[in-house]
A and B are shown apart, each in its own frame.
Chain A
């Protein structure tokens, strides 16, 4: 019997205006629209869906704690494969991995992955009733600013050990803004200089306002099926060549080494091993950018440069349009949209790059993409390597 190969066959995100969904929508509506559009993109319909994967902080505490229960009911389906693993913003990279496994082993035929958030419309950046376990005893009483504080302490330690500077971090924000300026859907179009980043208000030393992601609404969906089905549908498949995931801690106290993303090291190693390719084969990367330091630490953890050399790696606008390492080509979380959990949007942009749909920001001959999500407080990492052949 021919091996079943899992592919991504449909993607969609919900249009935003100034970071908000264009009209007042519930968080379930947002996901329904994204699902409808991704299924249309795939040439499929909701009745074909037999695998459902979703997570989010919406409705926590409440229905959002069991999101596939709520969404299956709302969509009117009874899937035979479900997954609501919540490892934070990297969950969606893990969902692609889990769905690929489910499709390849015949547990489902068409998997739908959704995410939605209306945090900006609701004027909340709530992490949704975080459980009182651990953080409420060992972090919160001392006024740990979340989520920025943990990232700030990681940046401070990285600077201490390796001489990384605020200018290095600003390089990432500036390069990402240049990509955003090429994206008609993005939110932040004003030119940005390194001086602008360094001159923006300090939030939590050493991270400035412009080292931090935006707070926006957002909704997205991804449809996966077999390569055989994609061919029958006449759609361009994006292959899932490798994946990996890990998580190491919940509280910052327990992060093994603040300069090192152990979870990303594990996830990346697994993904590259499975894909059987080297780093030089990656044409475009989408790396979770909750903060500039997140990107720098991830580049090191995935092995694009050595530990401690992330600052040098991103210098000279290397990750900007025209640079040697195209990174976060939509404008990322720093300059396009960050709807609480960014992971699904990184995947959507990677698929669009591999399908050659990105207009002005298209990376020429993008054949292989790496996507990496980060969740919690540098806690979880999940990597996908995608290719168009």
Chain B
């Protein structure tokens, strides 16, 4: 039984979470300014156009910043401490919050290359996480 908090999926994000179940990471891409954004929005946050479409990310990126949680974010994360919460900057230029899956939390550094991996935490939810590339 998975006891950690699960994402509260809404109509806007349903395609994003559906794609993750198929181990695909989707971003929204703006056809007006060509830039991607994450999380998915109705209007491009860069140029405010409504001409946005889904686009699949390649899955590579680097660590923009991170922290090692020595104290858990609630009891369900306690067995995982210390664990890494990071902001990963994908090669498509967007950042996402995630975990860096590693046994050596001390070895990580900002700028390090990482690759997506898909963690099927429940039959309905897959979380995108990253590992050192």
Chain A contacts to B: CB under 8 angstroms:
132-134, 136-146, 149, 152-154, 156-157, 160, 201-207, 251-254, 258
Contact = CB atoms under 8 A, between A and B. Distances in A.
Interface residues of B, number: 38
Contact of B66 (A136, A153, A207): A153
A253 B127 CA distance: 16
A204 B82 CA distance: 9
A138 B97 contact: yes
Contacts of B127: 141-142
A160 B80 contact: no
A145 B110 contact: no
A157 B80 CA distance: 24
B85 interface: yes
Interface string B76-113: 01001001011100000001111100000000001100
A289 to B, nearest CB: 19
Nearest to A156: B65
Given A143-B69, A253-B96, 15 more contacts: A137-B9, A137-B13, A138-B39, A140-B5, A140-B7, A141-B4, A144-B97, A145-B71, A145-B73, A149-B67, A153-B85, A204-B69, A205-B70, A206-B67, A253-B38
Nearest to A152: B67
B8 interface: yes
A149 B39 contact: no
B68 interface: yes
Contacts of A152: 67
Which of A133, A146, A149 has the most chain B CB atoms closer than 10 A to its own CB? A149
B8 A153 contact: no
B72 interface: yes
A62 B79 CA distance: 34
30 contacts: A133-B10, A137-B9, A137-B39, A138-B7, A138-B97, A139-B97, A140-B73, A141-B4, A141-B7, A142-B129, A143-B72, A143-B74, A143-B77, A143-B80, A143-B83, A145-B67, A145-B69, A145-B72, A146-B73, A153-B67, A153-B85, A156-B65, A160-B111, A205-B68, A205-B70, A206-B67, A251-B97, A253-B95, A258-B64, A258-B87
